[in-house]
């Protein structure tokens, strides 16, 4: 059973690493067998181990320029070593702004030094729209690289 202060510190580190847009930092506070699930279920996203998470998001991160998060609320369950965060993010990308509302349920190790499960719930309507816009901006950027004198 980890104390609340340790769980909150781990949650703040998680958010800081998330905002760093650095995959190695993001993965550094996860156990080797950590699993991340993104919901709601209607998003139809598979559960991801660390390798799958790196594969799914590693190449996309380079298209983000900055990210910040505002914590709206935080709850801890010291008996289960769980932290629940409600956050609002704001990000700049190579294309449109990418603003998202999240609920994270972070499952910590007994000593609150690492995460062994991350449940991420996103605003699915906003996610679909913004993700599509970001993907379109990435495609447009890649196409520009192949046009003479476009750079």
89: domain CATH number is: 3.10.450.50
pLDDT at 62 over 90: no
Residue-number span of the structural domain to which 99 is assigned: 4-145
CB atoms within 10 A of CB 60: 15
Q: pLDDT tens digits for 111-143?
A: 999 999 999 998 766 666 656 666 666 676 676
Total count of domains within the chain: 1
Tell me, yes or no, whether 150 lies in a domain: no
Dihedral sign, CA of 61, 138, 69, 35? negative
**Least confident among 17-21, 92-96, 97-101, 106-110:** 92-96
């Amino acid at each position: 059973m980890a104390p609340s202060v340790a769980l909150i510190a781990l949650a703040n580190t998680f958010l800081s690493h998330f905002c760093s847009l650095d995959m190695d930092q993001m993965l550094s506070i996860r156990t080797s067998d950590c699993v991340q699930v993104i919901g709601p279920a209607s998003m139809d996203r598979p559960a991801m181990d660390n390798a799958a998470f790196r594969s799914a998001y590693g190449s996309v991160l380079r298209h983000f320029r900055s990210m910040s998060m505002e914590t709206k609320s935080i709850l801890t369950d010291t008996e289960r070593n769980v932290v629940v965060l409600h956050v609002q993010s704001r990000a700049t990308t190579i294309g449109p702004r990418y603003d998202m509302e999240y609920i994270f349920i972070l499952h910590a190790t007994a000593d609150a030094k690492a995460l062994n499960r991350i449940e991420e719930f996103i605003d699915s309507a906003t996610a679909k729209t913004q993700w599509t816009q970001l993907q379109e901006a990435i495609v447009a950027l890649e196409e520009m690289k192949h046009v003479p004198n476009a750079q």
